Homo-oligomer: A and B are copies of this chain.
Amino acid sequence: MRRQESPGTLSEMNTRVARTHAAVMDAAIELLLEGGPDALTVDGVVARSGVAKSTVYRHWATRDDLVADVFEHLAPQLDPPDPSLDFDESLRTLVQRLADILADDHWRRVLPALMMLKMHHGDVAQIEERISSEQIDVCGDVLRRGMAEGRIAADADVQTLLALLTGPLLMAGLTSVVPIDKVFVDRVVDHFLAGARPRTTD
């Protein structure tokens, strides 16, 4: 049991294993985006990637594991804004990054599938839980800062504020009736700040 160089993340190496792994992953992602989760079949991946089925099952124990790994691989990451920014700029960059995620074609096609599968597929539910909780944490930090600085009503529920802030973005991303551009992002932020600020008269 020799350790050669402690591989760390598999995908960062360029071994034969990493190459086939990546080939399978790419094909699986393509199939998922083209035809939804039902189109992501083992045989389909084998046909498109050129990787043998026996090799696929050497990397993933079952099809569900592959599906889960694909979602994991596609999940976006919401970086918190630079702490040196003031609250307004923090909120704007945060919303802009959320908008970038929802404007991405890949994620926009995968999101409905994720929402649907999380109700009937335990592993997917776990992945969705992790993704959303991470994003909620990042957004919650910014909102709480706004409350501390008196820009947002301190008696408001953070979860409710989160729905009010990010709901319009989700709506725009899912329905595609409104383009997610900088104009829309600014509108969302302005709208949110106008509706969430503390009451001057009480």
User: Which residues does A use to contact B, with CB under 8 Å?
Assistant: 35-36, 38-39, 109, 112-113, 115-117, 119-120, 132, 136, 157, 159-160, 162-164, 166-172, 174-175, 177-178, 184, 187-188, 190-196
Across-interface contacts of A35 in B (CB, < 8 A): 120
Across-interface contacts of A175 in B (CB, < 8 A): 132, 163
Contact B196 A191 (CB under 8 A): yes
Instruction: Report the minimal beta-carbon distance from A173 to chain B, rounded to whole angstroms.
Output: 10
**Which residue from B36, B39, B112, B167 sits with its C-beta under 8 Å from A167?**
B167
Across-interface contacts of A177 in B (CB, < 8 A): 136, 159, 162-163
Q: How far is the CA of A164 from the CA of B170 in the complex (A)?
A: 10
Q: How far is the CA of A120 from the CA of B174 in the complex (A)?
A: 15
**Which residue from B36, B115, B168, B195 sits with its C-beta under 8 Å from A163?**
B168
Contact A191 B195 (CB under 8 A): yes
Q: How far is the CA of A35 from the CA of B193 in the complex (A)?
A: 41
Q: How far is the CA of A95 from the CA of B196 in the complex (A)?
A: 19
Instruction: Report the minimal beta-carbon distance from A30 to chain B, rounded to whole angstroms.
Output: 14
**Which residue from B119, B166, B167, B193 sits with its C-beta under 8 Å from A109?**
B119
Q: How far is the CA of A96 from the CA of B38 in the complex (A)?
A: 36
17 A-B pairs besides A36-B116, A132-B175 with CB distance below 8 A are A36-B117, A36-B119, A38-B38, A112-B112, A112-B115, A112-B119, A113-B116, A115-B115, A159-B178, A163-B172, A164-B168, A164-B187, A164-B188, A164-B191, A167-B169, A170-B170, A191-B192
Across-interface contacts of A170 in B (CB, < 8 A): 167, 170-171, 174
Contact B160 A178 (CB under 8 A): yes
Across-interface contacts of A112 in B (CB, < 8 A): 112, 115-116, 119
Q: How far is the CA of A159 from the CA of B180 in the complex (A)?
A: 12
Contact A171 B166 (CB under 8 A): yes
Contact B160 A167 (CB under 8 A): no
